[in-house]
């Protein structure tokens, strides 16, 4: 008998729990709704340590990124229209080559007002760009902001890469003396650029 069979049959043998436990009706569960989900999203993003800027009509997103990170030299992105990127996570030989990136720029799909999360599906060969960059810029359409995670999980889609992450602000830790520090292992800062 394989270990799998052994474990499953052991489970079946031991499963003596009395009573029938059915799956609850999750459609009846209403999460918090915000009258102005965009404002709530912006407020939450700041609470979790992120910055939010709005892309004004006609403005160049590259300029907005440069203004947000004036010191940055190395940009990485495969998002169309990001002309400042010298590195492309689709074409690098290995993920390690993305080390030393100052700013990574990625496209977010769905923003969540209750906690400032943004669903970032893998749309590039090397997803390391989302984490290895010192700072991360996430582009997000203001039309794709929902109130809560229930709505978000109904909306999100996986790409063929088979990876996606809800990112909420920068990497953080409080492991030393419970003092909150931004920038543990992944991005030290996150800027969300809200587009139309």
Partner 1 sequence: MSTLHSKAAQRFLETNKNARWHDDTFWVLRAKRDVMAHELDEWERLRDVACAIKRHTVTHLDRYLEQFVGNAERNGIHVHWAKDAEEFNQTVLSMLRKQGVKKMVKSKSMLTEECGMNPYLESHGIDVVETDLGERILQLMHKRPCHIVVPAVHITQEEVGHLFEEKLGSEKGNYDPTYLTYQARLSLRDEFMTAGAGMTGANFGVAETGDVVVCTNEGNADMSTSMPKLQIVAMGLEKIVPDYKSLAVFQRLLCRAATGQPTTSFTSHFRKARPGAEMHIILVDNGRTDIIGEPEHWETLKCIRCGSCMNTCPVYRRSGGYSYTYFIPGPIGINLGMLKDKVRYADNVSACTLCCSCDNVCPVKVNLSEQIYCWRQGLDSIGKADLVKKSMSLGMKYLFNHPQMYDTALKFAPITNHLPHVLMYNKLNGWGYGHEMPVFKKQPFHEIARNILKDEDKKGNI
Q: Does 96 bind partner 1 (CB under 8 A)?
A: yes
Report 97-156 residues binding partner 1 (CB under 8 A): 99, 112, 114-117, 122, 125-128, 130-132, 148-150, 152-154, 156
Among positions 78, 171, 191, 195, the unique one binding partner 1 when judged by CB under 8 A: 171
* Cα dist from 110 to 3, 21, 62, 156, whole Å: 40, 33, 22, 7
Which range, of 53-61, 64-72, 73-81, 184-192, touches partner 1 by CB under 8 A?
184-192
Q: Does 1 bind partner 1 (CB under 8 A)?
A: no
Burial class (CB in 10 A: 0-12, 13-18, 19+), 146: buried
Nearer to partner 1, 108 or 169 (CB): 169
User: Binding mask 39-78 vs partner 1 (x if CB under 8 A, - otherwise)?
Assistant: -----x--xx------------------------------
Among positions 70, 172, 189, 196, the unique one binding partner 1 when judged by CB under 8 A: 172
Whole-number Å distance between alpha carbons of 193 and 149: 21
Among positions 58, 70, 176, 196, the unique one binding partner 1 when judged by CB under 8 A: 176
CB of 151 to partner 1, least distance (A): 8
Supply 12's token pair: 């079946």
* Cα dist from 166 to 84, 111, 115, 147, 157, whole Å: 25, 9, 10, 14, 12
Q: Does 184 bind partner 1 (CB under 8 A)?
A: yes
Q: Does 30 bind partner 1 (CB under 8 A)?
A: yes
Whole-number Å distance between alpha carbons of 58 and 4: 59
Whole-number Å distance between alpha carbons of 152 and 111: 8
Nearer to partner 1, 15 or 35 (CB): 15
Phi, psi at 24, each rounded to 5°: -70, 160
On whether the CB atoms of residues 168 and 116 are closer than 8 A, the answer is yes
Among positions 70, 71, 162, 196, the unique one binding partner 1 when judged by CB under 8 A: 162
């Amino acid at each position: 008998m394989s270990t799998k069979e052994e474990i499953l049959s052991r489970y079946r043998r031991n499963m003596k729990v009395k009573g029938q436990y059915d799956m609850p009706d999750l459609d009846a569960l209403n999460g918090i709704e915000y009258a102005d989900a965009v404002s709530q999203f912006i407020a939450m993003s700041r609470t979790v340590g992120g910055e939010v800027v709005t892309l004004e009509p006609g403005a160049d997103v590259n300029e907005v990124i440069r203004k947000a990170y004036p010191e940055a030299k190395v940009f990485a992105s495969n998002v169309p229209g990001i002309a400042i990127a010298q590195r492309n996570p689709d074409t690098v030989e290995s993920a390690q080559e993305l080390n030393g990136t100052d700013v990574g720029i990625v496209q977010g799909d769905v923003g969540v007002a209750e906690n400032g999360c943004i669903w970032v599906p893998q749309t590039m060969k090397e997803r390391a760009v989302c984490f290895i960059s010192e700072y991360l810029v996430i582009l997000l359409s203001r039309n794709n902001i929902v109130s809560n995670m229930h709505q978000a999980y109904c909306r999100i889609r996986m790409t063929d890469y088979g990876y996606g992450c809800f990112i909420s602000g920068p990497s953080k830790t409080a492991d030393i003396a419970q003092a909150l520090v931004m920038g543990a292992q992944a991005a030290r800062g996150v800027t969300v650029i809200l587009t139309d």
